[in-house]
Structure formats: C-alpha cells, structure tokens
A and B are shown apart, each in its own frame.
Chain A
Amino acid sequence: MTTILGVPLVALFGQLLLGLINGAFYALLSLGLAVIFGLLRIINFAHGAQYMLGAFGALLFLQYLNIDYWVALALVPLTVGAIGILIERFLLRRIAHLDHLYGLLLTFGLAMIIEGSFVNFFGVSGANYPIPEALQGGFKLDFMFLPTYRAWVLVAGLGMCLFTWFMIEKTRLGAYLRAGTEKPQLMQAFGVNMPLLTTLTYGFGVALAGFAGVLAAPIYSVSPAMGSNLLIVVFAVVVIGGMGSIMGAILTGLAMGVIEGLTKVFWPESASTVIFFVMVLVLLVRPNGLFGKEV
C-alpha cells in the first residue's frame, strides 16, 4: 500500500476530503458572520442557533409537511432568513445606537433561548435526516470511496460561497453593501435606504447559516447543540481570516478544514485544537487576521 510519512494514502486523502467538507461549512458560516459584522458591526452569536434552525427546519418540513430535501434547500434558508429579518427589525435595530457589545449580548441570549426551546421540545440526543435518494451511494475512486452526498456538499457549499462573493464584489447591490460598511451616513445622504439594506443584509447572513444547516442535516446528527459546537471553531476561523475580506473568509474556512483534516492523520490527538493554535499564532503575528484590514 502506498504511504506518505508512514501514513496510508487512502487515510490521507480521506481526511483531506473530510477536511474540505468541514471547511466548506466553516467557509459558509464565517462568510455569513463577516457579512453581518461588516454592516451591522455585530458579532452574531446567534449564528450557530440559526444554522441549527436550518437543519431542524429541513427535518421538520420532511416529517410534518412531507417537503423533500430539494425544496427544503430553497425554502428553509428563506424561512430562517425571514426569522433573521424579524430579529433585526424588532430587536437589533432598537439597540443599534448602543455599544456593539450589546448586540453581541442580545444575539448570545437569543442563541440560548432558541437552543433551550429546542432541547425542551426535541431533547438533546438529536435525530437523523435521510440522505436524499438522488445523492445516495458514491464513487469508487482509485484511492478511496467518495460518498455522493459529501461531494454534493462540497460543490453546493463552495458554489454558494462563490455566489455570495460575486454578489458582494461584482454587483451594484454589493457596491452599496461595501460602501455602506465604510460610511453608512454618507450612503443615506446619497439616497440609499440604509435601514432597509441593513435588515436585508442580516437576513441574508442568517439565510446563509440556514443553508449550511440544511446541507449539514444528512451528514451530522440534527440536534439542538449542533450549532454552538461548530460556532466556537467558526469564530476562531473568523479571527484567523480577519473580518475585512469576503474571499478571505472563504479561503480561511477551507484552509482550516484541511489543516484540521491533515492533523487528524498525522497527530490525531491535537486535531480538535489545531485551529486554536493557528488562531493564537495569527493573533500574535497579524492581529487583524490574514486577510483583515488595518483597524
């Protein structure tokens, strides 16, 4: 059997792929956080809970309304995004003039309430979402077996990331968003409805979390705590990448997934902490993050 540094190639590629898939989730979630932070200056602690809402949304739609995966993939992010719009309009906007720490506390409280309610109704153990029929099975590659659904997650996750990047960096609406991030008051003076743009931006960032949740439902166990477990790592990814750049968030998310995957091969014991090692290093050397702008 072929080996690299004493590690079978099959294991290496397997972990690399797993890392990329995790990385796609990190990218999707840190992207949403970066978009929200850019305009609202709020660290959205409810992001994990909103991701969990996406996964549960898919599960509940299937169980109670018999809505299949493909419809859910469109419908759930819209629903979760609409919840986000209500949160911004009726809660975050009321405290927007205060120190941004209050936004962090408010979203943190929301996350606890949402998670707590779901634990109350669905218990902690979680449920499984079936892999949609069209995506069952897999490809037998030379070096490993690639489950079709995992390949799909990678394609769909990266596709959504690139779509978001394109929308923000290459369109007129995106130019409004970038400019509004810099000088919201001047944008108002130009006649741009910033309160509306802010609401929609939060809704969009939250919808991204919901989309990630639907993608995750067939892979990870759908449970109330699934978001908060992931969010800690995503925050580390955001710190490493820096808040300034959309492409930075995507690349850092993928890279951290891969680094985590490779660590599982070469030094399994430290796989769950390696991202935090990187975070500490980056904070010491480049406090604004790899792609961040000067503060």
Chain B
Amino acid sequence: MSRPDAQLLISNLHAFYGESHILHGINLEVNRGELVTLLGRNGSGRSTTLKAIMNMVDRRTGSIMIDGRETLNVAPHRIARLGVGFCPEERGIFASLSVEENLLLPPTVASGGMSLDELFEMFPNLYERRKSQGTRLSGGEQQMLAMARILRTGAKLLLLDEITEGLAPVIVERLGEVLMELKRRGMTIVLVEQNFRFAAPLADRHYLIEHGQVIDSFSAAELAGKRDQLNAMLGV
C-alpha cells in the first residue's frame, strides 16, 4: 500500500504513556503536498498521534515512515532533521526569549525555509513586537509565532495541533489564509482540528479518530454526505 509520493505513512501505530495505552493501531497516509485533518473528540488520540510521530511519547510500536524512511527507532531530536515541523497545542512559546529569539530558535532542518523578511511580511504583528518577551503577545500573535518559527526551518511536513483553539474569528480567518499559502508552496500538512468549519474548505482528506483508532477516512468531496455523522460525533 506504500506509494512513492507518501510523505508520511503510519501503520499499526500503538503509543503508550507509562502504563496507559493511548493509540491502538493507527493507520494513515499523507501524500506530498496534501493537507489532511485528524478529526475527533477531545482525548480521542489525535494529539498523541502527532506526538508519537515526533517521538514525544514514552513508547511506540508499529511503523512510522517519513519520506520513505522508518523512524520508529530514530531519537527525538533527529525527527525534525527529516524535515518535520511541529506546532504543539499549547503553542510552546518561550517566556525567557524575545519574539525574535523565539523565531530564530528552531535549528534549520532543510534548505528552502522562509526568510525572516518573508515571515514578517506574512505576520506583520510579529515584526512590530519582535523585541517583546515571547509570552507577552496575545494568544493570536503567539499562535502566529509558533507557526512562523517552524516555517523558517525549511520543514516540508508540518504537524499542527489545534492552531485555532481559543482564537478570535478574524485571527482564525488569517490562519486559514496562511494555510492556503503554505499549501500553494507545496507543504504537506497534518492538521489536528476541532473547528470543523475552519478545516473543511482547506483539507484534501479527513481522518476520523476515536479511542486511538482511525474509524473513518474520506476525501473533501465525500464530506457533504458525512456531515450528519460528523455533527453527531463531534458535537458541533
């Protein structure tokens, strides 16, 4: 089932925190240049899937291929070097660093990352506040910063966890535009998202996750027929 253009191919992934068994055999595939969402309730295992890809869980079994390379035994600090950018749910802005330092912090992992000028053009607020302490920014600005700093590194596969959570509609709209621009640039994106209305027009395909397993997957075109099922499941 492996296809040559699969940027990310996960088979039978189990993940554990201590004794807790969180993921029960996840299978999913993301092709180069695709934007794929992981939908599901809170606690269904979507964030853990991203963390398992980054090797940030205690234990994992199964297979995670990134760019055709098995990464199950790759050390956590070497995953990013395969061209992966991770934006955590809690945003992970560093309080002891200025906005500019936060932006410059993640090491370059591949060529072709966006320059500071391009990033400041995309996120003008960050330029104005580049000397501020990272955590003095508003929630929306912190989210922009968390996105911007992984775009600088040259990562081609972006793992974005709940980037619209708790943000004002105008900021969410701006994030949508940013994602469209990233798609246009050929990035591959895995989006964990609660805000279905935000994700629907952006995504090529959707995975529905429940109890640590993929229970359904469908393309953007099939979405209309699934609306009732999704509304019932996600409670939106």
Residues of A within 8 A of B (CB): 172, 175-176, 178-179, 181-183, 185-195
B149 to chain A, nearest CB (A): 8
Q: Which of B2-10, B33-41, B93-101 forms contacts with chain A?
A: B93-101
CB contacts (< 8 Å) of B78 on chain A: these are: 191
A189 and B105 within 8 A (CB): no
B92 and A186 within 8 A (CB): yes
> Within 8 Å of chain A (Cβ to Cβ): is B203?
no
> Within 8 Å of chain A (Cβ to Cβ): is B171?
no
User: Given the interface contacts A190-B80, A191-B81, does A178 sit within 8 Å of B56 by beta carbon?
Assistant: no
CB contacts (< 8 Å) of B105 on chain A: these are: 175-176, 179, 190
27 contacts between A and B (CB under 8 A): A172-B104, A175-B97, A175-B101, A175-B104, A179-B96, A179-B97, A182-B94, A182-B95, A182-B96, A185-B56, A185-B76, A186-B92, A189-B54, A189-B79, A189-B80, A190-B80, A190-B105, A190-B150, A190-B153, A191-B79, A191-B80, A191-B106, A191-B153, A192-B77, A192-B107, A193-B77, A195-B77
CB contacts (< 8 Å) of B150 on chain A: these are: 190
Q: Provide the bound-state CA to CA distance between A195 and B78, in Å.
A: 12
B59 to chain A, nearest CB (A): 13
The binding surface of chain A is classed by DSSP as helix
Nearest neighbor of A196 in chain B, beta-carbon distance: B77
A188 and B77 within 8 A (CB): yes
Most B-side CB within 10 Å, residue of A181, A188, A189, A194: A189
A203 to chain B, nearest CB (A): 19
- Give B77-132 interface residues, CB cut-off 8 Å to A: 77-81, 86, 88, 92, 94-97, 101, 104-107, 109
Nearest neighbor of A172 in chain B, beta-carbon distance: B104
Nearest neighbor of B109 in chain A, beta-carbon distance: A191
B107 and A178 within 8 A (CB): no
B56 and A188 within 8 A (CB): yes
Q: Provide the bound-state CA to CA distance between A223 and B106, in Å.
A: 46
B220 to chain A, nearest CB (A): 29
Q: Provide the bound-state CA to CA distance between A186 and B106, in Å.
A: 10
B119 to chain A, nearest CB (A): 16
User: Given the interface contacts A190-B105, A190-B107, does A183 sit within 8 Å of B92 by beta carbon?
Assistant: yes
A178 and B104 within 8 A (CB): no
B101 and A189 within 8 A (CB): no
B77 and A186 within 8 A (CB): no
A21 to chain B, nearest CB (A): 31
CB within 8 A of B77: which of A175, A179, A182, A194? Answer: A194
User: In the complex, given contacts A175-B104, A191-B81, A191-B107, what are 14 additional A-B residue pairs having Cβ atoms less than 8 angstroms apart?
Assistant: A176-B105, A179-B96, A181-B96, A186-B86, A188-B56, A188-B76, A189-B76, A189-B80, A189-B86, A190-B105, A190-B150, A191-B80, A192-B107, A195-B77
CB contacts (< 8 Å) of B56 on chain A: these are: 185, 188-189
